[in-house]
Structure 1
Amino acid sequence: MTTAESVRIDKFLWAVRLFKTRSLATEACKKGRVLMDNVTVKSSRTVKAGDVIAVKEPPILKKYEVLRVAEKRMGAKLTSDFIRDVTPADDLEILKLTQIANSMNRQRGLGRPTKKDRRDLEGFFLDGTDDLNDDD
């Protein structure tokens, strides 16, 4: 794991596992989802220790303080040595409530069935087959 004084923001966001790929980090910068000092940044912007990076995660901005910079991707356990989440607790609560509300509003028939949906279907089909197979 190489440390440097400054590194590109897209590379840093990927290295500390905020984005799954560097391409996704670059795309987020292009779309204006990454901010520093309340200004959207290009993916070539350099990051150094002490900077605060904000990443838009609707409906809030998640804020991270850079403790150290790294160029290479690291294990998830090591990220706490490089960044610290400084998002206000109120914003995290809003995000949590939004996620709960969205999960409760899944429309039936859209997306993959849940385990409960599968069990209900199996119960429906298995209950009716016993009556049809009786030849007595």
Structure 2
Amino acid sequence: MSVPEQAPGPQSVRLDVWLWSARLLPTRSAATTACRAGHVRRNGEPVKAAQRITVGDELRLRSPGRERIVVVTRILTKRVGAPLAREAYEDHTPEPAPQLAAAPPRRERGAGRPTKRERRQFDRLRGREDRLAEADEEH
């Protein structure tokens, strides 16, 4: 008597459950909110939190200043430790821009308020040229 071979787990799972289980978002409600806001796409299409995902789906998660691109390699239904969670997806996220990766400059403690010149230098480093243009228009 032979026993039929069964898959080791479910073939699909809700998107919000998988995002939380794979530790891509901190809570399941945060995953649901991100889906409702349109910050999550599956295979290029906007997706609802309750839709089912399967192995091989490409997910794009947008967060401030960054977009993560992951391909599902394993279905998770419960939250697992970080090392196991990293095995559930392949990360295809491009490297961040060099100015975003660098640590922001720090002033020495007790140096007082930054001067106008120093504030403009900080704004240039942060890519906030719009603020500089507004200042020039006022004068």
Tell me the TM-score range normalised by the shorter chain: 0.5 to 0.7
**Alignment correspondent of 2:130:** none
Amino acid at match of 2:37: K
Pairing 1:71–2:77 present: yes
The TM-score, its normalising length taken from structure 2, stands at 0.65
Gaps of 5+ in 1: 109-115, 122-136
**Alignment correspondent of 1:98:** 100
Query: Aligned partners of 2:63 and 2:101: how far apart in 1?
Result: 11
Amino acid at match of 1:6: S
1:35-68 CA-partner distances (Å, limit 9, x unpaired): 1122211101111001110001233321001001
Amino acid at match of 1:71: T
Identical positions, percent: 34
Computed over aligned residues only, the root mean square deviation of the Cα atoms, in angstroms, reads 2.4
The structure carrying a bigger helix percent of its residues is 1
Q: 1:80 Cα deviation (Å)?
A: 2.4
Pairing 1:56–2:56 present: no
**Matched residue pairs, number?**
104
Query: Aligned partners of 1:24 and 1:99: how far apart in 2?
Result: 25
The TM-score, its normalising length taken from structure 1, stands at 0.67
Query: Aligned partners of 2:19 and 2:63: how far apart in 1?
Result: 14
- Identify the structure with bigger relative contact order (alpha carbons < 8 Å, sequence gap 6+): 1
Say which SS state the counterpart of residue 5 (structure 1) adopts: coil
Say which SS state the counterpart of residue 56 (structure 1) adopts: strand
Query: Aligned partners of 2:80 and 2:73: how far apart in 1?
Result: 15
Say which SS state the counterpart of residue 93 (structure 1) adopts: coil
